[in-house]
Amino acid sequence: MHKTLAAVNDSTVAGLGRLARFFGFSDVMGRLYGTLLLNPEPLSLDDLADGLKISKGSVSMNMRDLERWGMAKEVWMRGERKKYYTAESDLWQVIRNVLGSREQREVQVALHVLGDSVEKLKAAEAELTPEERELARYYLDRVVDLQAFFKVAQMALETVVGSGESLDFDAVTRIEIE
Amino acid sequence: MHKTLAAVNDSTVAGLGRLARFFGFSDVMGRLYGTLLLNPEPLSLDDLADGLKISKGSVSMNMRDLERWGMAKEVWMRGERKKYYTAESDLWQVIRNVLGSREQREVQVALHVLGDSVEKLKAAEAELTPEERELARYYLDRVVDLQAFFKVAQMALETVVGSGESLDFDAVTRIEIE
DNA sequence: CTCTGCTTTCAAAACGTTTTGAACGCAAGG
DNA sequence: CCTTGCGTTCAAAACGTTTTGAAAGCAGAG
């Protein structure tokens, strides 16, 4: 393959590895996704293992995860006994999958815990000594601050996750903040 | 201390540990920050080491990081030889520090690499075989998609980082894809 | 049913990160 | 000066995660 193509392939695959790490996935998942993304044709487990120089076992496990997250799909090649995969190439769909089913849950949990804290602090007020009561108020201020942060996060996530079904990438480059 | 206060303290400190991890910091950093956040008075290294049951060496190193990130400040207590710290309690300030100096750089780098790829692909076109040329076009499409994603991220970051005292939430939800 | 070629599993090994604590450095007080 | 009480450093140990490869599983073909 021409060296320019190889270089672009390498940096893209490596970059998606980084991105995967950033989102809390394994590096390998990102690299597998990148490899699939840059291949017009579906690839088999062996193709992927060879291409990335990792064991087949690892490919097998990571591909399962990629499928679970809606980042890759299995493709049936007629007359073939191997499994073939392609990348889900709609990046926004991938982002929505991840944010929707993982980050949103995290934020919900955090808000729930913080809400609990607020309730507990208020409920306990009666049985506190004056000193403790002062500290409780201090806690309350801090907990409310944290709640504010998570509420913003929640809304931001809802905005992204709830955005239109299919997104036109050419249009994205013309994004504007009012 | 009253058990309610202790419980709220525990869950908040643990939660901030999680949050720190999410943002790519160590768990300990988050817990130290949480401990400081919930203490009206500054704490010494020993206080922190005792409170979190970790070694003084670890506290020392992690506090340095917290300071670097603008998440905690040293406080001079007159007549004391110990170092005392308080948390930077303006959460938005903390968020802006982190996003501004770390995430934004990451995104810049990514955009730069992708821009390079686009250039290289275009420049190499002349010397490619017809097959390679087709693949190059395919690569270009994918790289442009990734660029679009990072541009959105860049704008979102700019919105948050460039916001004033308190984040104008409407601005976040108005990052729109046309 | 058996063989064949592929996928999946999982325990062990490799690897990377975090934590510790002892040694060191440093500054203030005597 | 020395001593004392801190903070910092860093190598070693503990710990956690990822990768591997051999073995087991499974499905289709004959």
pLDDT of residue A1: 79
Q: Is B79 left (phi over 0), alpha (psi -120 to 50) or beta?
A: left
Distance from the A76 Cα atom to the nearest Cα atom in chain B, whole angstroms: 22
Q: From B40, which residue of chain A is nearest by alpha-carbon distance?
A: A138
Give the phi and the psi of residue A73 in degrees, each rounded to 5.
Answer: -130, 145
For chain B, domain boundaries = 3-87, 91-173
How many inter-chain contacts (A to B, CB under 8 Å) are there? 164
With a cut of 70, list the residues of chain A below it in pLDDT. 164-178
Chain B, residues 72-111, CB within 8 A of chain A, namely 89, 91-92, 95, 106, 110
H or E element in which residue A85 lies: strand A84-87
A5 to B124: CB separation less than 8 angstroms, yes or no: yes
Rg (CA), chain A: 23
A128 touches chain B (CB under 8 A): yes
Residues around strand C, C-beta < 7 Å: A 44-46, 56-57, 60-61, 63-64, 81-83; B 26-28, 53-58, 61, 81
Residue A27 Cβ < 7 Å to strand D: yes
Residues of A in contact with B127 (CB under 8 A): 2
pLDDT of residue A177: 32
Kindly list the distances between the CA atom of residue B61 and the CA atoms of A70, B75, B97, in Å, as whole numbers in the listed order.
Answer: 40, 17, 19
Facing residue for B120 by CB, picked from A8, A128, A167: A8
Residues of B in contact with A164 (CB under 8 A): 177
pLDDT 10s digit of each residue in chain B, 178 long? 789 999 999 999 999 999 999 999 999 999 999 999 999 999 999 999 999 999 999 999 999 999 999 999 999 988 888 999 999 989 999 999 999 999 999 999 999 999 999 999 999 999 999 999 999 999 999 999 999 999 999 999 999 998 766 555 555 545 544 3
List, for residues A10-28, the tens digit of each pLDDT value.
999 999 999 999 999 999 9
pLDDT of residue A78: 83
List, for residues A67-78, the tens digit of each pLDDT value.
999 999 999 988
Chain A, residues 4-63, CB within 8 A of chain B, namely 4-5, 7-9, 11-12, 15, 18-19, 22, 24, 37-38, 40
A115 touches chain B (CB under 8 A): no
Helices B3-22 and A104-124 meet at what angle, rounded to 10? 160
Round to whole Å and give the CA distance between B15 and B11: 6
Give the phi and the psi of residue A72 in degrees, each rounded to 5.
Answer: -145, 155
Q: From B169, which residue of chain A is nearest by alpha-carbon distance?
A: A152
To test the contact with chain A by mutation, choose from B108, B142, B159, B160 the residue with the greatest count of A C-beta atoms within 10 A, namely B142
Q: Structurally, what CATH architecture does the domain formed by B3-87 represent?
A: Orthogonal Bundle (1.10)
Kindly list the distances between the CA atom of residue B38 and the CA atoms of B66, B155, B158, in Å, as whole numbers in the listed order.
Answer: 16, 33, 30
Of B95, B86, B93, B40, the closest CA to residue B63 belongs to B86
Of A114, A107, A111, the closest CA to residue A143 belongs to A114
The length of chain A is 178
